[in-house]
Chains A and B, each alone.
Chain A
Amino acid sequence: MRTDIAQQIFFLTWEHLEMVALAVGMAIAIAVPAGIWIAHNSTMRPWVTGFANIVQTVPSLALFGFLIPLPFIGGIGTRTAVVALVLYALLPVLRGTLAGIQSIDAGVRDSAQAMGMNAWQLLTIVELPLAARNILAGVRIATVSTIGTATIAAAIGAGGLGVFIFEGIASVDTTQILAGAIPAALLALIADGLLGLAERRIITW
């Protein structure tokens, strides 16, 4: 019985992690290029940040609900959950990327331009390395909040640690709620610590 529960916690934690990693990975793949784009395009900037802001204000349970009837991305299960989590994770990464690029010193930009760098060289040699601190900070916030939000994904049958929490709520069983909540909290703390460590390793200047 005991090993049974341990096994189940382990399995759901793994499922939870997979969902979070996939969602944050996809959010990075979308939000970093989008952030770079709007950093250089002031016309699109309010539209894109506006979209990300609005998504953020939709209550998570409602967003999961909205997605279920949609074709291709909707339905019951992990796919819908990941889509919702990606939408939530966009804003911090987008903001981090934008802030990072915008905070680059005017003198640095001027020097880079006077060196005749093309847009790609400017991006890879100057902008991305200098924005890395803000981008990583955004990724860190996105990861921690996604670990929390992903517990709600169980409501649409996506699995993860939320399964314990919802079952626990249904049967008024505090122990079972904690079996989901404690591993989720630990995951968030560990992820935050590891990303902080990575930040210090990557950014040495």
Chain B
Amino acid sequence: MTALDRILSHDPPRSRWLAALLVVVFVVLALAPFLFPGAKSMSVASKILVFVLLVASYDLLLGYTGIVSFAHTMFFGIGAYGIGIASEKLGAGWGAVGLGLLGAVVVSVGLSLLIGLFSLRVKAIFFAMITLAVATAFQTLASQLSDFTGGEDGLTFRNPEWLSPAFEPFETPVFGLLLDGKAFTYWLLFVAVTVLFLLLLRIVNSPFGRVLQAIRENDFRAEAIGYRTVVYRTISNVLAALFATLAGALLALSLRYVGPATTLSFEIMLDILLIVVIGGMGTMYGAVVGAVLFVLAQAYLQDLLAVGATAVQGVPLLQDLIAPDRWLLWLGVLFVLSVYHFPTGVVGRLRSWALALKVKS
């Protein structure tokens, strides 16, 4: 167990139920191409993976450092557009992917450093407002530069040969599945997300991560002890942006498409906020639990809303409220309610139960 403990950076789930849940999620996601070979379920599984990384990187900011950013989708989008634009202009290939990723990382780090140095000096509340303004401007910019970004339509591009759907190295199916580029892309995502997630877990459990939590709890005291809170907050911001960029790059590889709606839109930002809150702020595992619950709900609950809408058709106000287009309304209500009544999220609840059981026995 010590090896596993070290891999998890001495931050075990601390709840039997949570541990079981995580193991199930891990195994199911690892074997997803065999278990659910359908197109929709595979895209849902890929989306879960990307969101785990994206939300975990946001949790570094919100849950661990205690600052609210509304520009996280901007960095997510930079990563996705980096891959998309490079692959479209240079042609498919690993060179294009590498170059696009490098360019995206440079842009993201530079931009997040600038925003952080500018707005984290003064007040945390400034940061929220300024990131909102910058993200809105960036979104407009992306749709304006349509020669470059494809505008509102986005870009469709091809992956390197290994990851393209036409790539089928084996003649015969392996365990009942004909392995193709799609499956390899999925496993690339899986490995990358697992490694990066463990890296994030390592970061938040390092001495550096402890300083971030100290700043979250009381920035005045942290400063008094001798930590330059501005520097720590800025580094946290840059790290979060970096991981979000990587998540965006993975999304682009799995979709072979980038567009404003899938990366930059405010809806994605709301999704991230909701997942962080549902999963549990300040717990990296919350990102996993939240992303799984949320993406599954989003993929299959919308169908349920459609069923509900047909059931109440004809009832004047109710049919408008339950329409699948009003999905965001129920998301918002859920968000407000969970911030009030459920502030520690699923992981926090499971952990406090485990603690209560331990105290009782």
- A, B co-complexed: no
B-side residues, CB < 8 A to A, are none
